Structure 1
């Protein structure tokens, strides 16, 4: 019999360009979804450590807005907690940064 193994390969983009051209318009964690991680938290901070966005794992991603305002070009930081559906697997905590580029 055939056996199917589902795996999640997680990617954190290094930049995004929210200019409406449908290319990299949102910053979104790739490869993670609610099937693998039903309890996931994605927090995005500005360079001063202020929380500017919280995104759902299955959402469209961060569009570069915070409280209805366009956030400026620059570096932003993320803190992602992925709690797996399979309780035998460890929770994944990832932190890093990425760039918001406006042209």
Structure 2
């Protein structure tokens, strides 16, 4: 169950990163509100997952999900560049997350 909480926490991290961008420096109340609520949800779920999972594993997976998700959102919805080097970097990050999961009991 802690892995489910951790994955959900990572999902909320993707949402808050995206809505933070859309908030335009916290000047748009709707996106600012969504950002703050999803931040709290993300941190709360991370803290629950960390009751069982090792700190390094939980934090790395959480930030990795957020980073990869933000990368995909940026490319898909914000018109950010999808260059070969950025794709390789994302794949390296993904491989690190998979290895961390496999290395954790």
Considering Cα pairs closer than 8 Å and 6+ residues apart, tell me whether 1 or 2 has the greater RCO.
2
Which structure features the higher share of strand residues? 1
Which structure features the higher share of helix residues? 2
